[in-house]
Amino acid sequence: MMAGNGLLYPVLGFASCVAFIYMSFGNLRFHFEEPKMGFVERNGTQFFLDGRAFYVNGWNSYWLMDQAVEEFSRPRVRAMLQAGAKMGLTVCRTWAFNDGAYHALQISPGRFDERVFKTVLTRKNTITGVEYRNDPTIFAWELINEPRCISDASGDTLQDWIEEMAGFVKSIDRNHLLTLGLEGFYGPKSPEKLSVNPGEWASVLGSDFIRNSKTSTIDFTSVHIYPDHWFLDQELDEKLKYVSKWVISHIDDGNTVLKKPVMFTEFGFSNTNKNFEPSQRDAFYKTIYDIIYESARKNGSGAGALVWQFLVGGMEEYNDDFGIVPWERSATFKLITEQSCQLAAIRNGLVKSKGNSEELC
């Protein structure tokens, strides 16, 4: 879907090049000089950084770009990144685009400006002077958030777009990993997996987790988890059982079919549920965290997850029914921090891959 040839593809969703920003988890300090680390790489079903397996425990703060523009709001960005570091988080997912505005990536629905794609990838970091495509503090790029093409349920239109745009990004930036931004729904090319979908509607959206993720220029997969949107009348226990099934299914795909890491790049639990309690959200988080930890402990494809979404205080205009200020609830803060600690222990060789593990958290 390149603006250069004037073609208009009916792809729905956000047109995004999304930066996943790696944060130091060793001494939990920020380094504003040119980093001495390498780029995160993929080897089979795992990420590697500087010769060791790398696992992601992180979050979404889509608003960072907006808040960084104005000097008076930059303290929010600083506070969020510092809080992430304190929790041992390794990656933050954020927007790196405009829609229909100044230097818009998406000029109009389904129409994109090729020059802006290139501009994002080659923009210089204003602190270090390093072009984004050469900056190892950027973990990866995401092509588009939750792509759908409901006018072509076969999935061919979206698949063509993925192959074209992934190749275009890789022609400019060969240093960074690339993912899609899929929700994880199985499509008509994966008939044996359709029963895993949350409903029949999910198979006719023009996307297909297996087919799309097999694209050779896509380095790792992306999956979203929103049981509150998918199952309006289910009780918590039923939702959590489905979440386990959903997460395990995609990790199995990564292990056996795709041979690529699997990232759960958005997961959220709504505070609009009937009789909502924060402990229910904690149980939802823990269900996902535990499965990812077990996969990582066995060197599997479960590479990590990113909560939707984290904010700092006073940002109600950016909030939705999934947003939290993580340090406002000690149990939630502890849960997230312990997952960071456990994954770091695996990376540092302090947890056995089989049998009993030595927990240091």
pLDDT per residue rounded down to tens, the chain (361 residues): 333 333 333 333 333 455 565 554 443 334 445 447 799 999 999 999 999 999 999 999 999 988 888 787 899 999 999 999 999 999 999 998 877 777 788 888 878 888 888 889 999 988 899 999 999 999 999 999 999 999 999 999 999 999 999 999 999 999 999 999 999 999 999 999 999 999 999 999 999 999 999 999 999 999 999 999 999 889 999 999 999 999 999 999 999 999 999 999 999 999 999 899 999 999 999 999 999 999 999 999 999 999 999 999 999 899 999 999 999 999 999 999 999 999 999 999 987 554 444 445 5
Q: Is 131 a catalytic residue?
A: no
CA distances from 112 to 107, 118, 142, 161 (A): 6, 12, 15, 12
Q: Which two tokens stand for residue 177?
A: 């990993």
Q: Which two tokens stand for residue 86?
A: 């304190």
Active-site residue, selected from the candidate residues 131, 142, 163, 266? 266
Give domain limits for the chain.
Answer: 3-347
Q: Is 146 a catalytic residue?
A: yes
**Architecture of domain 3-347 in this structure:** Alpha-Beta Barrel (3.20)
Active-site residue, selected from the candidate residues 142, 146, 183, 338? 146
